């Protein structure tokens, strides 16, 4: 796969835009099948990105499937053998059940982790070209995407033609914009994120990932590599102006209002500035069309409150690569496979999407939730059951079933500290939300299809046979 360097045209089986979780995973799966893969990324690795990095056992299993486990292990992050959720003075904590043989979580900083994936993709046979941004698409006759145009840091430009263009280029995806992929089921975030790294003292428990809910605040600690822990606050989004005015002071003052979190970080020293994300709306995006596909955040973004994005980016990148690898050369078969891949991704992600949207509401711990915390804490396997949802071993609707919700509501009504009016108010609110969630789940396929139809326009190729390299107006969706 020679680089032309003079604005000439290269040819590969698949070009992947973006080299992190989704892009490297797609490239690894394709390269292992002997396909020629070129991955282009504007970043230079190791490179950080705005993201915390909590891993559940299902994340670890994906890393193993990609063949990157030893590289990631070598970064030295402590395993999370226990995880706990604290609400209303009750801690629900316990071990993880194994997922594909992996029974621990992790928190691995993104520069090292993403670099490990990039190196694994190279080892598998993919070419990964850094500091190179994709600027436009190459369109063939009939509205099929046939390649990309790129520009590197030195201003050099070129064209790559391929059977498939994979836009693994994140939430602000260039590929999604250029093909006109529409979002559907969009939900604004009700919690913002603010995080910083702390150096742990020798006595810190570095094998437990913990979450605390206190009032409307939600705080977490994820011990990670480098002797550090990440402190993450998911405060209500309506506090964004306070954080904008003074991120550090607001972060530290908020952390101090969550007593067990303040205690956990009492002897730890903050070693980075506070990083914030105020707006990160959640969505599904139409992710497959003639000659293109969107794995990872470019095609679907969940509320980070459940920490699933890295796993899903790797998983659906890998599954995309595995699905199209055998079909190179047959455009109709590739386009059929990417459509099926998108439906499978949506089927596998909808439950988690909806659950994350529910957890992402910036509510106080309700009396019914308090009853749930007490009930789960009293069960020997209560924590593991909840962790099974984060680990994708069980659906959220199994663990947080209507039957259990009714039981927790009855427990709340009997509890001496819970006001009956507050319990009934919460019950009404939760019933409305649950009805909305069910309606959305039942109508999901229909609404997705309607969204696709609404975006359909006759293809507008800017050229025949890709001779001209200008993208058509980006309104088309499939
Ligand atoms: C605040 C926050 C916290 C989070 N915490 C967690 C967590 O704890 N656990 C978890 O599992 N998930 C978490 N997530 C989600 C996770 O960050 C994402 O789901 C994951 O990074 C998606 O990977 P990706 O490969 O799809 O995209 P990205 O990681 O966004 O990578 C996209 C890549 O594409 C490149 N690119 C973009 N445009 C171009 C272009 N035109 N040309 C070339 N290259 C391009 C970029 O340089 C980048 O390297 C969090 C997200 C946020 C916002």
**Neighbouring C-beta atoms of residue 175, cutoff 10 Å:** 25
305: CA distance to ligand 1 center in Å? 15
* Nearest ligand 1 atom, CA 22: 25
Q: How many CA atoms lie within 13 A of 352 on its CB side?
A: 27
Q: For 193-277, CATH number?
A: 3.30.9.100
Mutate which of 29, 41, 251, 298 for ligand 1? The one with the most ligand atoms within 8 Å of its CB, which is: 41
What is the CA(173)–ligand 1 centre distance, in A?
Answer: 10
Buried b vs exposed e over 14-42: b needs ≥16 C-beta within 10 Å? bbbbbbbbbbbbbbbbbbbbebbbbbbbb
For 235, residues 6+ apart whose C-beta sits below 8 A from its C-beta are 191, 192, 194, 216, 217, 218, 243, 254, 362
- pLDDT tens digits for range 364-389: 999 999 999 999 999 999 999 999 99
Tokens coding 436: 């909305």
Taking the CA of residue 309 as reference, the ligand 1 atom at the shortest distance is 19
Q: What is the pLDDT of residue 464?
A: 35
The CATH T-level fold of domain 9-53+109-187+281-357 is FAD/NAD(P)-binding domain (3.50.50)
pLDDT digits (tens, 9 = 90+) for 397-415: 999 999 999 999 999 999 9
pLDDT at 3: 56
pLDDT digit string, tens, across residues 235-271:
999 999 999 999 999 999 999 999 999 999 999 999 9
pLDDT for res 478: 23
**Rounded Cα–Cα distance for residues 324 and 333 (Å):** 8
Check residue 4 and give its pLDDT.
Answer: 56
Task: Tell me, in angstroms, the distance from the centre of ligand 1 to residue 297's CA.
Answer: 6
Pocket of ligand 1 from Cβ distances under 6 Å? 17-23, 40-43, 49-54, 133-134, 168-170, 174, 193, 277, 280, 296-297, 304, 307-311, 313
Distance CA 356, CA 361 (A): 9
CA 265 to chain centre: 27
CA angle, 159 as apex, 156 and 164 as ends, to 5°? 140
What residues does each domain of the chain span?
A: 9-53+109-187+281-357, 193-277, 359-445
Structure confidence at residue 88 (pLDDT)? 80
pLDDT tens digit sequence for 67-81: 999 999 999 999 999
Q: Which atom of ligand 1 is nearest to the CA of 18?
A: 34
Helix or strand or coil: residue 433?
helix
Position 473 scores a pLDDT of 30
User: Which residues of the chain have a pLDDT value below 70?
Assistant: 1-7, 456-478
Q: What residues contact 232, with CB distance under 8 A and at least 6 apart?
A: 52, 193, 194, 195, 219, 220, 221, 222
What pLDDT does 417 receive?
81
What tens digit of pLDDT does each residue of 122-166 get?
999 999 999 999 999 999 988 999 999 999 999 999 999 999 999
Task: Give distance in angstroms: CA of 156 to centre of ligand 1.
Answer: 26
Task: Report CA(469)–ligand 1 centroid distance (Å).
Answer: 28
């Amino acid at each position: 796969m020679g680089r032309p360097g003079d604005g000439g045209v290269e040819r590969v089986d698949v070009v992947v835009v973006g080299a992190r979780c989704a892009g490297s995973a797609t490239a690894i799966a394709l390269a292992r099948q002997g396909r020629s893969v070129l991955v282009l990324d504007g970043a230079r690795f190791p490179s950080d990105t705005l993201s915390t990095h909590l891993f559940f056992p299902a994340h670890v299993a994906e890393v193993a499937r990609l063949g990157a486990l030893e590289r990631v292990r070598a970064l030295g992050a402590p395993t999370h053998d226990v995880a706990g959720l604290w609400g209303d003075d009750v801690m629900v904590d316990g071990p993880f059940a194994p997922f594909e043989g992996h029974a621990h979580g992790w928190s691995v900083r993104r520069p090292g982790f993403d670099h490990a994936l990039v190196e694994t993709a190279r080892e598998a046979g993919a070419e990964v070209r850094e500091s190179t941004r994709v600027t436009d698409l190459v369109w063939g006759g009939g509205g099929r995407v046939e390649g990309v145009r790129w520009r590197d840091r030195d201003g050099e430009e070129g064209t790559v033609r391929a059977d498939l263009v994979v836009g693994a280029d994140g939430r602000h995806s260039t590929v999604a914009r250029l093909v006109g992929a529409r979002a559907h089921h969009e939900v604004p975030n009700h919690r913002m994120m603010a995080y910083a790294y702390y150096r742990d003292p020798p006595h810190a428990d570095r094998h437990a990932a913990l979450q605390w809910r206190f009032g409307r605040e939600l705080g977490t600690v994820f011990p990670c590599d480098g002797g550090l822990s990440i402190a993450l606050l998911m405060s209500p989004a309506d506090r964004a102006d306070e954080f904008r005015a003074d991120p550090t002071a607001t972060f530290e003052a908020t952390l101090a209002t969550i007593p067990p979190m303040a205690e956990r970080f009492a002897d730890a020293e903050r070693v980075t500035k506070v990083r914030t994300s105020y707006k990160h709306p959640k969505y599904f995006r139409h992710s497959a069309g003639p000659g293109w596909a969107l794995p990872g955040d470019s095609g679907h973004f969940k509320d980070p409150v459940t920490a699933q994005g890295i796993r899903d980016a790797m998983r659906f990148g890998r599954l995309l690569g595995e699905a199209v690898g055998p079909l190179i050369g047959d455009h109709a078969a590739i386009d059929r496979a990417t459509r099926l891949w998108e439906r499978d991704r949506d089927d596998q992600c909808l439950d988690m999407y909806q659950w994350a949207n529910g957890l992402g509401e910036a509510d106080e711990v309700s009396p019914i939730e308090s009853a749930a915390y007490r009930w789960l804490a009293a069960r020997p396997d209560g924590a593991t059951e909840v962790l099974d949802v984060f680990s994708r071993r069980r659906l959220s609707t199994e663990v947080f079933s209507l039957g259990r919700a009714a039981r927790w509501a009855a427990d709340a009504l009997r509890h001496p500290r819970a006001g009956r009016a507050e319990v009934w108010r919460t019950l009404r609110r939760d019933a409305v939300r649950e009805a909305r969630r069910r309606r959305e789940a039942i109508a999901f396929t229909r609404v997705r299809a309607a969204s696709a139809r609404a975006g359909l326009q006759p293809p507008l190729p800017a050229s025949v046979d890709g001779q001209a390299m200008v993208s058509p107006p980006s309104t088309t969706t499939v």
